Amino acid sequence: RKEVEQDPGPFNVPEGATVAFNCTYSNSASQSFFWYRQDCRKEPKLLMSVYSSGNEDGRFTAQLNRASQYISLLIRDSKLSDSATYLCVAILNTGFQKLVFGTGTRLLVSP
Amino acid sequence: GAVVSQHPSRVICKSGTSVKIECRSLDFQATTMFWYRQFPKQSLMLMATSNEGSKATYEQGVEKDKFLINHASLTLSTLTVTSAHPEDSSFYICSASRSDQPQHFGDGTRLSIL
C-alpha cells in the first residue's frame, strides 16, 4: 500500500466549476501535510499547508481529518491556469523532515 | 523567496556515461539537501538526504555506489549518476532546507540515457 494515495484523474472540469481532490495517508505518525502543484515537466511548488481546522487561501480550501487519515483540497471558480497536477504530501519527522509525495491528481480546466 | 538552482536542466547521453547534476541554494545556507527522482506518471521519490560535510543517507533500494552524492558546502550538493543506463532515465529534482524550514525545490534535471 502506498504511503500517500491519490486518485490520478484526470479531472476534466469547465471554467468556473468547483472541484475537490482527496488524499489518504497510511502512516499515522505523519506530522504535517501540504498540497503542492506541479506543472508538466516542472518542479513541484508549494500551494498550501493543511490543518485540522482547515486552511483557506482565496479560491483554495484544504482540510485534514486525522481520525480518518484523509486530506482534501477544494478549488472554487476554476481557472484555466489551475490546470496542473496536484500533489498531496505528508511529512514524517525522521530526524529531518521527510516529504512523502502522492502520485498526484491531474486537473484539466477547459474553456 | 528562497531560490534553489539546479544544473543542467536537460541531459541526453549514451549508456555507460557518468552524469553529474548540481544543486545550489543561491540565497541561503542549506543545512540539508534532498535528492528526488520522478518517473513518468509516478510520485516524487526521495533518493537520499545529505547534510553538509557528512555522508548522505540513502533510502531503501537506492544504490549508494550508483548515485554518488557530495555535499561539500552549505550551498552546493552534487548527484553523480555513475555508468548510467536507460533505466536511469528520469526527472531528478533536488531540494534544500535550513533547520526546520520548508524545502525549496530546484528546477529539476531531465536525464535521458540512450
Q: Over the stretch B8-18, which tens digit does the pLDDT of each residue have?
A: 999 999 999 99
Which of B10, B25, B44 should one mutate to test binding to chain A, selecting the residue with the greatest count of A CBs within 10 A? Answer: B44
Q: Would you state the cell numbers that stand for residue B47, as one nine-digit string?
A: 533518493
CA–CA separation, B29 and B96 (whole Å): 9
CA–CA separation, B92 and A89 (whole Å): 18
Q: What is the mean pLDDT of chain B?
A: 91
Which of A87, A88, A93, A96 should one mutate to test binding to chain B, selecting the residue with the greatest count of B CBs within 10 A? Answer: A96
DSSP, res B59: P
Q: Over the stretch B81-95, which tens digit does the pLDDT of each residue have?
A: 999 999 999 999 999
The per-residue pLDDT for B72 is 82
Q: Over the stretch A85-108, which tens digit does the pLDDT of each residue have?
A: 999 999 887 767 788 999 999 999
Q: Over the stretch B28-78, which tens digit does the pLDDT of each residue have?
A: 888 889 999 999 888 899 999 998 888 899 999 999 999 999 988 889 999
Q: Over the stretch A43-84, which tens digit does the pLDDT of each residue have?
A: 899 999 998 888 999 999 999 999 999 999 999 999 999 999
Please answer yes or no on whether A44 and B44 come within 8 Å at the CB atom: yes
The per-residue pLDDT for B42 is 86
What sign does the dihedral A10-A25-B95-B64 (CA atoms) show? negative
Report, as an integer, the average pLDDT of B98-111: 86
Among B44, B107, B110, select the one facing A101 at the smallest CB separation.
B44
The per-residue pLDDT for B52 is 81
Please answer yes or no on whether B46 and A99 come within 8 Å at the CB atom: yes
Other Cβ atoms closer than 10 A to B61:
7
Torsions phi, psi for A3 (to 5 deg): -70, -35
- Kindly tell me if the per-residue pLDDT of B7 is higher than 70: yes
- Kindly tell me if the per-residue pLDDT of B2 is higher than 80: no
- Kindly tell me if the per-residue pLDDT of B1 is higher than 70: no
Count Cβ–Cβ pairs < 8 Å, chain A vs chain B: 43
